[in-house]
Structure 1
Amino acid sequence: MTAHMPDRPATARPGTPGRHGTPPETPCPSRRRQVSSPERGEFVRPLTRRQVDDRMGELGELYAHTSSSEPGESGLLDPSDRAGPAAFRRRLAGHMRRPGFELLVAEAVRPSGATVLTACAYGFPVRVAGPWWQGLDVYLPENLFRVAASGKLFAVADVLVERRVRTQDLTREWNLARRLQKRLLDDHIGAIGVTLVDRRDVDTYRALLAWGWRCLPAEGGGASCFAPHRLLVHP
């Protein structure tokens, strides 16, 4: 998911292990592979615009790393985008200028003591008075136009994580992609989350549905059912 829920997850920062048990629809723990808990893994934190600027090179490398899978599996916005890290950095630099822009990163400490960037997610409010994001207006039903006019529509623009993260343990509270998008929306209380997912990106689509997002019919926003993206909203 190159693929934001009420209370902020306890695992977004160092703290106690998650309290949620294994959901009934998932295999029993004895049959699951062993995975590290968030407390021994990545910690999520926001970056200022200046920090994003300073780490643009790292973010470009992260994009290249998380987009190096097969077509239809690489990105929340456009899995067919093969222009590379430079195009991603240009796109991110443009999005940074939007009011209310927020970017979260996940970092892990290696045995050597080095801190490395492992994932990121970012978004921004969508307003009627201003440039639309990714042709979003083509997909929005009338009621969401009113939400945008009130300043309560927040676009989750991108979630960059490894493929295994966006396809495994989706229902776990500590799943890194889930934590990122959840934290991003939690930081904008009262806002409705909205995102576009390429129709070929089945991994991201399934992940978002597992996290409580809803897919709105294409015709509801005036877009054809053959439009290249699906519109999802949360809650």
Structure 2
Amino acid sequence: MTANTPLRTARVPGRMPRVSRAPRPRRPERGSSPQEGERVRQLTRGQVEDRLGDLGDLYAEISGGSPWAWNQARGAFLRRLAADARQPGFSLLVAETTALTGYAYGFPACGGGPRWVGFDGYLSRSLLHRAASGRLFVISGIVVPSRVRREYQDRAWNLARRLQRRLLDDHDAALGVTLVSRRDIDTVQTLCSWGWRYPVGDAPRALLTGPFRVLVLPRGS
């Protein structure tokens, strides 16, 4: 959803070539729902610092690539995360079973607009009004496994939907907002499958000509 979020499909070492077969009817879901299997909780700033290694490892694992690319992606991500963590109201939610399975983070946009480098010129008057009233929340990262991106995206218990909805609820935000590279079509499509939409109305010129797209997420999506 920006460079912060590895939404491309992770590589699976040793995967055998896929053989074309006739499609099979989808079987009913079995077992407990993912909502029961994964516990979502917020980390304090101290806990975020203590678990930077785990957060960076999961990001790099989901990003995939060679060991060199793995280390590069991990280091760049941790620098961006550290910068976001300094924002007032920063919040990071983790999903866990016996291990870390995903997380999402962001911070409230407030006062004269969101304090996030890159948003200048991209927010319409209506979004700036939301920011001024404290009802706009910047979701700057969602890190989830590939199965969450390709399976049951419209279900309320989809992990990405649970994480982003919890961030908005915890901060009483009416809308979430994020920036996505205009070239990153896969990320745009994935976010839209989780309920994100293009803002309507008084879009600024930068929205049409700049390198990024603005997406918004209504609370409850």
- Give the TM-score normalised by structure 1: 0.71
Q: 1:157-196 residue pairs with structure 2 within 5 A?
A: 157-196=140-179
Could you tell me which residue of structure 1 aligns to residue 125 of structure 2?
Answer: 142
Match of 1:95 among 55, 59, 84: 84
- Alpha-carbon distance in 1 for matches of 2:207, 2:84: 27
Residue 57, structure 1, aligned to residue 53, structure 2: yes
1:27-176 pair list within 5 angstroms: 31-32=26-27, 37-39=33-35, 41-68=37-64, 83-109=72-98, 116-129=99-112, 132-176=115-159
Q: How many residues align?
A: 193
Give the match's secondary structure for 1:223.
helix
Counterpart in the other structure of 2:195 = 212
* Moved segments of 4+, more than 4 Å: 32-36, 128-131
1:11-65 CA-partner distances (Å, limit 9, x unpaired): xxxxxxxxxxxxxxxxxx9524857621553211110000000000000101101
Identity of aligned residues (%): 51
- Gap regions ≥5 residues in structure 1: 4-28, 70-80, 110-115
Residue 233 of structure 1, aligned match among 198, 201, 216 = 216
Q: Residue by residue, what CA displacement relative to the aligned partner does 1:172-213 show, whole Å, maximum 9, x if unpaired?
A: 121111111111111122432111122333343233323332
* The one of 2, 6, 10 aligned to 1:2: 6
Classify 1:198/1:65 alpha carbon distance in 2 versus 1 (closer, same or farther; 3 Å).
same
In structure 2, how many angstroms separate the alpha carbons of the residues matched to 1:132 and 1:207?
25
Higher relative contact order structure (alpha carbons within 8 Å, sequence separation ≥ 6): 1
User: Cα gap change, 1:32/1:208 in structure 2, threshold over 3 Å: closer, same or farther?
Assistant: farther
Give 2:217's aligned amino acid: H
The change in CA–CA distance for 1:224 and 1:82 in structure 2 (over 3 A counts) is: farther
Aligned equivalents of 1:84, 1:212: Cα separation in 2: 27
The amino acid across from 2:51 in the alignment is R
Report the secondary structure of 1:173's partner residue.
coil
The unaligned stretches of length 5 or more in structure 2 are 8-23
Single out whichever of 155-164 and 220-229 deviates more from structure 2: 220-229
Contact 1:217 1:231 in 2 (8 A): no
RMSD over aligned CA atoms reads 2.8
Distance, in Å, in 2 between the alignment partners of 1:232 and 1:131 is 14
